[in-house]
Amino acid sequence: MSDLPLFPRSRFPVEVDPLYYESMARNAGYQWIAGVDEAGRGPLAGPVVAAAVIMPEGVTYPGIKDSKQMTEKAREESFCLIQKEAVAVGVGVVSEKVIDDINILQASLRAMKKAISCLTPAPHLCLVDGPHGIPMSFPQKCLVHGDSLSQSISAASIVAKVYRDRLMCAYHEQFPQYGFSENKGYATPRHQASLKRHGPCPIHRTSFRGVCD
């Protein structure tokens, strides 16, 4: 695992160019650049989901941005666009049981590793959201707030979020009393009240505060 010091500090705000980091990586000799991000580190229930996305070189898609800044409808539309336009998309899912066993950070990194392993072609370099490198032996660059700085990471954030939201809506059919279709497993007042009333269900993260209290 190596976090590359590829990118010089710019005097200009890189937010104006969502391909800044991708371009710098290609100028350094890397062809296939994957953005990597996860969704679901904070919820009380459900898996953590990661996505890795390689987008076409040099193409800017204005609708692709940090998934947290988008409406559900906009995310769904961009998800379809990414599926259509991306060179490759990989998804990794790590269950709540594994989260309880190894902690959420390690589970998130495992999900990212799974997502990257699904990519064909394999990436030459990964741009990873956040400060933590993925335990794999290939070039990578960690970017704090990368989902708002890199189009590739933004695309991964959208895929991970939409994929996980769909999983939680499916779980709602099995456990409707918790409102997973609305809260996606996060600690909303209704979800917390349901936990007090019914106790945890099989997809709750029992190691998280508030689940078994």
d(CA 39, CA 43): 9
CB contact burial 50-88 (16+ within 10 A = b; e otherwise) = bbbbbbeeeeebeebbbbeebeeeebeebbeebeeebbb
CATH number reported for the structural domain that contains residue 118 in this entry: 3.30.420.10
pLDDT tens digit string along 112-161?
Answer: 999 999 999 999 999 999 999 999 988 999 999 999 999 999 999 999 99
In terms of residue numbers, what domain contains 52? 11-170
Residue 201 has pLDDT above 90, yes or no: yes
Greater model confidence, 146 or 8: 146
Total domains, the chain: 1
CB contact burial 11-26 (16+ within 10 A = b; e otherwise) = eeebeebbbbbbebbb
pLDDT tens digit string along 17-75?
Answer: 999 999 999 999 999 999 999 999 999 999 999 999 999 999 999 999 999 999 999 99
Q: What is the pTM of this model?
A: 0.93
Is 5 part of a structural domain of the chain? no
